[in-house]
Structure 1
Amino acid sequence: MAEVTELDLAWEGSAARLRLPETLELPAIGAAWRHLLPQLGKAKRLVIEAKALASLDTAGAVLLLRLEQAAPTEWQGLAEGPAKAMLERCRTALEAANPPPPPRPLPPVAALGRAVVRTGADYLSRIGFLGEVVVTFLGLFRRPARLRLGELLRHLDEAGLRAFGLTVLLGTLIGIILAFQSSIPMRQFGAEIFIPNLVGISLLRELGPLMAAIILAGRTGSAYAAELGTMVVNEEVDALGIIGISPLAWLVLPRLVAAVLVMPVLALLMDLTGLIGMGVVMASLGFPPIAVIHQLQTAVKLGDLAGGLLKAAVFGGAIGFVGCRAGLAAGRGPRAVGDAATSAVVAGIVAIVVLDGIFAILFYRLGW
């Protein structure tokens, strides 16, 4: 007789007899799992004595069922009770249909075609969503009451007013950094007086709208996606459609209009604080404020400010559109909201950069 943990295994010629203990649970079968199955591989018959068996967990039941598969098995003394019920439940579960095997990977050409089709379908979905938003917005001229003023004011507060502190901080730092970095090469030519020209044009035309858009994408775009994604997961958006309320008019338009309205304000605040930061650096370099203001008046035109604010409004519309679309397209799993927020931030920043490049080419062609 050979003892394997608490299980007694005896050989009678080519037949094996296994006596089970009173308790057959996970702590007692660790060694048995490693040693019993190899030993029973040569057995032509297995007798399992289960008279003393009173307690059995799933690990013990799976072990006994594996022993049944190793050799023709005869049970002795297995009485009705919790142990037998556990064994039958595990047997039923193991005999159930196996999950289908994973699909085979497609050939490279087929995989490329599927990726192209999916990408095209995604872009068509975005275009369709844009068309629905435009149609819903135009419908406001016929029924202005569909735009909820209270919801619009709430989003203006969250996207604009609560972002003022961060915008002021970043704008001031950007102005200081640009002024200090510009002073290094300018000093070699005695041209430090032209630092306001460089910083003013950079801020008003490019950096002001771009940095404000990045702030809006990080704060507000992700918030839009998270809010709408949570509503999709909780089936609140479906409920609005069932009762006859357009989710676009009820949820998307207030957020989109708020993003468009608030972006020029954030860009203007970024410009002003950046110029103030630059002025502080110029004062530290020994230039009076009147000289800095004179240089700004000479270099910066009203068209520079207008072009920057126009870009900011377009950036706001793109961020609101991307954030709302990412939220409404969220899945139903536990990671859906997080994935939607991440997608909104990434896609929003990419859209900002692409639009900024388009504006740069357009302004260059127009001589603006």
Structure 2
Amino acid sequence: MREWADFNTTDAADGKVLAVSGPLTVASVGPLDYRLRELEYDPVRIDLSGVTDVDTVGAWTVWRASKERSAEITGASEQAQRLFAAVEQAHSGAPIRPVRAAFAQRVPAAVGGLVSRWGAGALGVVAFLGDVVTSAGSLIRHPRRFSTTALVRQVELVGVSSLGIIGLMSFLIGIVIAQQGAVQLQQFGAEIYTINLTGRLALRELGVLMTAIMVAGRSGSAFAAQIGTMKLTEEVDAMRTIGVSPMERLIMPRILASVLMMPLLGFYASVLAIIGGAFIANFALDIPFLTFLLRVREVVPITDLYVGLVKGPVFGLIVAVAGCYQGMQVSGNAEEVGKRTTKAVVQAIFMVIVLDAFFAVFFTKLGWG
């Protein structure tokens, strides 16, 4: 059975004396510490004659109580005296909790730190883009150094493997656009314009935009996680050691695969969205399936297709650069891989939406609205 440290109070001519007994160790000092903190009077002495064993935690507990109560320690063994001297030298008067700055100081400091990190991140991205351009120029001059096998593998992962999920998503989005658009247009007897709405939105905006978001969540995160794990396991450093450029072998195939596949995936998604709209229109609006598709060809201008195809490579570049850049920034521990992967997805989706808004204004000014 465990023996606990305890104390008794005795009266002396000059005041009260605490007679501590039992082992003063980390396993048995808990109740004693609590009782010493709750003591309602200040003893003149703490007698340790009855202590059977002592460690650093027990010595610190008694020493702290003696300082708070202005009590003298007596009857301490040689071992206890050495421990008291050690804890006294290690004692710090600093507050347990750091002093919190005033609100007027904290807010500007936090904003300044955030702006500074943004600036450093922007410089890092610019430097990374410079490395990408340099590597692209080097591969153009020495095409034999480019790994075609790696490119084909990334094309399969980014494009072919994502056909199922992108097709299903686009088909359902087309159904939603047509159904919701028809509900609103029926109020004006203009249900036939559901075809215009579905066709133009799918080809011009939602097809490539939703595809970019899906690729960012699927492939962009994979880029960051794969490269980040290789950084942690020092595979990237090993590639540099044997004279293989990580930019040429890891980064460029992923960027090229994303740039090449995004226009195709965007067009594929747009077609599936139109098919989804035609599917629901056949049941909700009594518009025959083939009539819907033929009508799309008549009412949707070819410029809408061009707009979607122009956006695709740009969005693919953003997704790939965000994923690869964050992967190359991983350092320290495995937790960093998760953080960088999250940052890659968030940054890619944010930049895709911002650029999509820019493209909308730009092409409208060109008369492609």
TM-score band (shorter)?
0.7 to 0.9
Distance 2:16 2:252 in 1: 78
Distance 2:216 2:82 in 1: 55
Change (3 A) 1:86 1:187: farther
1:121 aligned to 2:101? no
Task: Output aligned runs, 1:97-112, within 5 Å.
Answer: 105=101, 106=105, 112=111
Q: Give, in angstroms, the shift of residue 308 of structure 1.
A: 0.6
Question: Does the 8 Å contact 2:24/2:58 carry over to 1?
Answer: no
Distance 1:112 1:329 in 2: 23
1:170 aligned to 2:147? no
Amino acid at match of 2:127: G
Q: Give, in angstroms, the shift of residue 107 of structure 1.
A: 6.7
Distance 2:212 2:119 in 1: 27
The equivalent of 1:261 in structure 2 is 260
Question: Does the 8 Å contact 1:327/1:337 carry over to 2?
Answer: yes
Change (3 A) 1:240 1:206: same
Distance 1:321 1:76 in 2: 68
Amino acid at match of 2:22: P
Q: Give, in angstroms, the shift of residue 21 of structure 1.
A: 1.3
Question: Does the 8 Å contact 1:194/1:295 carry over to 2?
Answer: no
The equivalent of 1:18 in structure 2 is 19
The equivalent of 2:216 in structure 1 is 217
Change (3 A) 1:7 1:144: farther
CA offset digits 1:121-176 (Å, max 9, x no partner)? 32222112111111111211112233322222222222222211111111110111
CA offset digits 1:234-273 (Å, max 9, x no partner)? 3433443344433222221111111112212221221121
Amino acid at match of 1:286: D
Amino acid at match of 1:288: P
The equivalent of 1:324 in structure 2 is 324
The equivalent of 1:63 in structure 2 is 61
When the two chains are superposed, the root-mean-square deviation of aligned CA atoms in Å is: 3.3
Question: Does the 8 Å contact 2:318/2:352 carry over to 1?
Answer: yes
Which one is further off, 187-196 or 346-355? 187-196
The equivalent of 1:287 in structure 2 is 287
Distance 1:200 1:230 in 2: 42
CA offset digits 1:16-39 (Å, max 9, x no partner)? 35342157444x433321222564
Amino acid at match of 1:18: A
Gaps (5+ residues) in structure 2?
none
Distance 2:87 2:121 in 1: 46
The equivalent of 1:356 in structure 2 is 356
TM-score, scaled to structure 2: 0.84
Question: Does the 8 Å contact 2:224/2:323 carry over to 1?
Answer: yes
Question: Does the 8 Å contact 1:217/1:345 carry over to 2?
Answer: yes
1:249 aligned to 2:248? yes
Change (3 A) 1:195 1:10: same
Question: Does the 8 Å contact 1:46/1:72 carry over to 2?
Answer: yes
The equivalent of 1:311 in structure 2 is 311
Distance 1:145 1:9 in 2: 89
Distance 1:330 1:153 in 2: 26
Structure 2 SS opposite 1:46: strand
Change (3 A) 1:92 1:180: same
Distance 1:274 1:60 in 2: 73
Q: Give, in angstroms, the shift of residue 314 of structure 1.
A: 1.0
Amino acid at match of 1:126: V
Distance 1:270 1:60 in 2: 70
Amino acid at match of 2:74: E
Q: Give, in angstroms, the shift of residue 232 of structure 1.
A: 2.8
Length, aligned pairs only: 358
Structure 1 SS opposite 2:19: strand
Question: Does the 8 Å contact 2:275/2:293 carry over to 1?
Answer: no
The equivalent of 1:302 in structure 2 is 302
TM-score, scaled to structure 1: 0.84
Distance 1:288 1:37 in 2: 85
The equivalent of 2:195 in structure 1 is 196
Structure 2 SS opposite 1:179: helix
Amino acid at match of 1:289: F
Task: Output aligned runs, 1:9-48, within 5 Å.
Answer: 9-13=9-13, 14=15, 16-22=17-23, 24-26=25-27, 28-37=28-37, 39=39, 42-48=42-48
CA offset digits 1:171-229 (Å, max 9, x no partner)? 11011111111211332343323322221111001000001001001111111112222
Change (3 A) 1:153 1:93: farther
Question: Does the 8 Å contact 2:5/2:21 carry over to 1?
Answer: no
Q: Give, in angstroms, the shift of residue 91 of structure 1.
A: 3.5
Gaps (5+ residues) in structure 1?
none
Structure 2 SS opposite 1:16: strand
The equivalent of 2:134 in structure 1 is 135
Distance 2:170 2:141 in 1: 40
